[in-house]
Structure 1
């Protein structure tokens, strides 16, 4: 049986709704995460770790940033289990509710000056809640959209929520740019809270949109098939590791370069420009914002190229580009020029991030069958996030300190992560084992 989506590149009304629902939630997730990343480099260290010297305060702030990633695999496993057993819709509503609620509460959190040691402890708790909810967000968005998207445009449409990650970073940085010009006393008293509280509007909007979306036809058909074969009672996670252990491991490794590159650019770069290079924070935000918008714009176009030239090929090219560009990137960031920093950052985000993010969604969803696809994508992505994505700003900051202010150890770290991506993608072979239309063969 030929799936209808293979006969056209047009989106059905349900598919358009899925793209909007998935993209809006992902935009909010990365707004929330990038918001904390921007705050970590500018104000979190002074608000919640005031007794530490600046460099140590930044490390402590980035350590709390990483904490959110440590809980993400658990959130990914539990929420994606709901997504595979109960439905994509309730899982994605739960995900965005936890993320958005935690972010708004961060904006209301008293500082250490008011609460003492309780303040950073509450901050860590909210980061854990935020990370738990985020654990299945992008995996869910990619899975949802892939199961609606036409076969020949799968990379294009799954690139849209990945582009939203860059868009969320850009909007978060813009929000901080709007308040960064305030005098220090106003910024540290109430100004920093505004970007966090704005998240409430985005959060309610995403809940409304996701509540109105439908289950994917492929998921419904796969569950009906599983009922007929009496397999639905099995745990998706157990099936995942029995049937796709190799794909989980290599899928995990394949995300390494993307995560290191993305969090170097959208989180660590701002701290490097302000703390290491001494650039004023309002100037330092300009290259970060411009680069994020460049990534958001380029990602879908490169996704379209991945549909034409191959997901693996574009994924590998993106990782190879990051290896080559990381040295020019830091030369530009170290130049002291806002213009040069903006150019090297925009190229890094537009081409390196754009290629890896543009091909990644279609590449990952094809690794797993429908009945445990959500779990497979979530476990591969979020377990990598614990080791690479969350710790990258902390690791990069520590490597700069070890290098006496030199960024070259950071360049080596990025190169190793991107090399892991290239090896993993090559190891998975020319043909992915589980096309998204796999469930049709069960009927």
Structure 2
């Protein structure tokens, strides 16, 4: 006889709001760190840390270090998520925010190449790796915590706030550089570039204070109690299973779906908010202010649009919204570059705002709940971290480097267009696989988690 999962804990609206705020502000500092480095890579790190290189080579070197953090993110994510699934969500959320905050402040204190030579980029790489280790579990932890506090019919809306916070982080970080772009460049390269990194200490302090005040998620507590009761009834000691092994054994198809689903949004997102800065400034030879204002408009629009798409996913399902965002992005990327190549500031800002406010926001608004509903409580944190961070490592952090190289080879953006469109098809493939999985599970006596195609899901345990 199949054991029935425990009933979900009662929904506490006030507690849910607290964890949404705590998770969102953590996401702000995570992506403030990453966006800050991305903007600095495109605008100032080349001459500061790679002064002997040409403009293109210096930018490529900066983007290469930008990508380093994405290669260590899965390592940090899996280690932290393993602890999160075994010990609890709260201690991991506190640790990751501390690691990222310290690493970002450290960047603002680094000596440059002019001061210590080759050790400057080495230290920059080390701080970047620390950022990656902390950030690897941040998103998965935030999504897991919020999803386990909220009811099925509101999960898309509540989990979307963590994604909307990414837009706020980019507005803050890019806004800093937009302001700094108005001062003389020699002053910027001398000391002013450090201000945004050092200022992150304030956000870090607030985030840490709030996260220390939240409680462990009720769904995790309930799952732990149930496991102990089952062990006591059977008379056998409770086995210490590794969450990643559990996920690989029990949900291999869901892991593949989880990895693929982020392809479209990761590539399109880093194309707009990081690569576009370099493309507008270096390839189009336009003012850095145009680029930074474009990023602010783009990511700023997502602050409002992502929750709307999250709410829509509660009404019509996660997959239609996720697929719709990928299709829109694939169709929109060619006119996006045509608008950039017009060299008209208004068209450039509009192009970036549409790309992020519609296609990207649709995928961001639906992805969090989509991922959370793929996996069971006992290995959800680990499975989300593994599936998301593997894709971010392969396609997210490498996108600015790949796009810069493709433009350098072809002399234009059209190879980049093909690359972005291909990645949108990977997201659509994930949706197709999810639909097949949902149909295969329909009518069976499975307790392996809810169907990702419906806003109201099956039992979660």
TM-score greater than 0.5 by the shorter chain: yes
Shift of the 232–179 alpha-carbon distance from structure 1 to 2, 3 Å rule, reads farther
| Structure 2 match to 1:338 | 345
CA RMSD of aligned residues (A): 1.7
| Structure 2 match to 1:435 | 450
Shift of the 296–18 alpha-carbon distance from structure 1 to 2, 3 Å rule, reads same
Distance, in Å, in 2 between the alignment partners of 1:393 and 1:238 is 33
Match of 2:419 among 409, 413, 419: 413
Shift of the 249–51 alpha-carbon distance from structure 1 to 2, 3 Å rule, reads same
* Stretch deviating more after TM superposition (225-234 or 372-381): 225-234
Shift of the 318–274 alpha-carbon distance from structure 1 to 2, 3 Å rule, reads same
What is the CA distance between 1:4 and its match in structure 2? 6.1
Is the contact made by 2:155 and 2:369 (CA closer than 8 Å) also made in structure 1?
yes
| Structure 2 match to 1:203 | 204
Does residue 374 (structure 1) correspond to residue 381 (structure 2)? The answer is yes
What is the CA distance between 1:224 and its match in structure 2? 1.2
What is the CA distance between 1:3 and its match in structure 2? 3.9
Q: Structure 2 matches for 1:273-312, cutoff 5 A?
A: 273-312=280-319
| Structure 2 match to 1:84 | 85
Distance, in Å, in 2 between the alignment partners of 1:441 and 1:412 is 39
| Structure 1 match to 2:406 | 399
What is the CA distance between 1:440 and its match in structure 2? 6.6
- SS at structure 2 position matched to 1:367: coil
Distance, in Å, in 2 between the alignment partners of 1:81 and 1:3 is 23
- SS at structure 2 position matched to 1:68: helix
| Structure 2 match to 1:426 | 432
Is the contact made by 1:223 and 1:232 (CA closer than 8 Å) also made in structure 2?
no
- SS at structure 1 position matched to 2:435: coil
Distance, in Å, in 2 between the alignment partners of 1:282 and 1:429 is 44
What is the CA distance between 1:344 and its match in structure 2? 1.1
Shift of the 106–232 alpha-carbon distance from structure 1 to 2, 3 Å rule, reads farther
What is the CA distance between 1:187 and its match in structure 2? 0.2
Is the contact made by 1:236 and 1:375 (CA closer than 8 Å) also made in structure 2?
yes
What 5-or-longer segments of structure 1 have no aligned partner? none
| Structure 1 match to 2:52 | 51
- SS at structure 2 position matched to 1:153: helix
Deviation string 1:355-393 (CA, Å, 9 cap, x unpaired) is 000000110011110000000000000011110000000
TM-score by length of 2: 0.92
Distance, in Å, in 1 between the alignment partners of 2:97 and 2:202 is 13
Q: Structure 2 matches for 1:33-432, cutoff 5 A?
A: 33-230=34-231, 231=238, 233-404=240-411, 406-429=412-435, 431=438
Is the contact made by 1:218 and 1:439 (CA closer than 8 Å) also made in structure 2?
no
Distance, in Å, in 2 between the alignment partners of 1:214 and 1:183 is 48
Deviation string 1:160-213 (CA, Å, 9 cap, x unpaired) is 101111211111100111111111111001110000011000011111111111
Distance, in Å, in 2 between the alignment partners of 1:82 and 1:232 is 16
Shift of the 213–441 alpha-carbon distance from structure 1 to 2, 3 Å rule, reads closer
TM-score by length of 1: 0.96
| Structure 1 match to 2:234 | none
Is the contact made by 2:377 and 2:460 (CA closer than 8 Å) also made in structure 1?
no
Distance, in Å, in 1 between the alignment partners of 2:14 and 2:385 is 26
Deviation string 1:393-412 (CA, Å, 9 cap, x unpaired) is 000000100111x0000000
What is the CA distance between 1:235 and its match in structure 2? 1.1
Deviation string 1:234-267 (CA, Å, 9 cap, x unpaired) is 1111111111111111210111001001111111
What is the CA distance between 1:435 and its match in structure 2? 2.8
Distance, in Å, in 2 between the alignment partners of 1:164 and 1:297 is 10
Is the contact made by 1:34 and 1:169 (CA closer than 8 Å) also made in structure 2?
yes
Shift of the 87–2 alpha-carbon distance from structure 1 to 2, 3 Å rule, reads closer
How many pairs align? 437
What is the CA distance between 1:82 and its match in structure 2? 1.1
Which protein has the larger Cα radius of gyration, Structure 1 or Structure 2?
2
Is the contact made by 1:84 and 1:374 (CA closer than 8 Å) also made in structure 2?
yes
Distance, in Å, in 1 between the alignment partners of 2:421 and 2:459 is 41
Is the contact made by 1:75 and 1:133 (CA closer than 8 Å) also made in structure 2?
yes
Is the contact made by 2:450 and 2:459 (CA closer than 8 Å) also made in structure 1?
no
Is the contact made by 1:226 and 1:232 (CA closer than 8 Å) also made in structure 2?
no
